[in-house]
Amino acid sequence: MRYGAALGLGIGCAGTGSQDALRILAPLTKDKVDFVRQGALIALAMIFIQVTDVQEPKVSTIRKLFEKMIGNKYEDILSRVGAIISNGIINAAGRNSTISMTTHDGNLRQNAVVGLVLFLQHWYWYPMLNFLTLALTPTTYIAVNHKLKVPKSFNFTVKATPSTYRYPELLKKKEEKAKEKVETAVLSTTAKVKARNDRKAKAEGGDVEMSVID
């Protein structure tokens, strides 16, 4: 029930950045049941899709939570899968789309509803994860003239600061430091044994490695 409630909250508040939803879902990310943690992570990604750090400072914390759980090999597999899915949702379409159940004029988008219903069955068959894209809608500004053609040039004024819509930084690959070669220690007993064997070989007239001097 907690898993279903979390996903229901995620769908109902998708793209809103709701503080109330965050207060409910935050404790569920630490739930003792891995299945519930997965649902809470996915719901958080749905709610904060395309919400920037300026609009909601907790977004950076949520992103770090996803990264931490993905990289933690001791985390339960269901929770890690949920974190991976959530990281994909919150960065969907290059962070240029959001989840929307209705059109701009308020009509229900049937393809979005079907897409989400099938997406929620992904634990039956993982390829159903791709149906989430049916619920995505691009958030773009498109200008057309009276002939419904894109004009060659146009201007519009945005009063918001650039940081309001700034993209979050891309993940940086951690470079591993090259391991320094450590010379193998030679034990004194090993040197003595080698010297003894060399003397024995000379006494028996065997082949001895010689150093060549130019």
- pLDDT (tens, 9 = 90+) of the chain, 214 residues, equals 999 999 999 999 999 999 999 999 999 999 999 999 999 999 999 999 999 888 888 999 999 999 999 999 999 999 999 999 999 999 998 888 999 998 888 899 999 999 999 999 998 898 999 999 999 998 877 888 888 888 888 888 888 888 888 887 776 776 666 566 656 665 666 777 777 777 776 666 554 443 333 4
22 by Cβ neighbours in 10 Å (0-12 / 13-18 / 19+) ranks as buried
Residue 39's pLDDT is: 95
Residue 142 tokens, joined: 């498109």
2 by Cβ neighbours in 10 Å (0-12 / 13-18 / 19+) ranks as middle
Q: What are the residue ranges spanned by the domains of the chain?
A: 2-153
103 neighbors 109 (Cβ within 8 angstroms): yes
Which of 1.10.3470, 1.20.1250, 1.25.10, 3.10.590 is the CATH number of 2-153? 1.25.10
The per-residue b/e assignment along 115-149, b for 16 or more CB within 10 angstroms, e otherwise, is bbebbbebeeeeebbebbebbbbeeeeeeeeeeee
Residue 31's pLDDT is: 93
Residue 205's pLDDT is: 56
pTM: 0.75
Residue 185's pLDDT is: 62
Residue 111 tokens, joined: 């393809």
The CA distance from 68 to 84, in Å, is: 11
**DSSP single-letter state for residue 133:** G
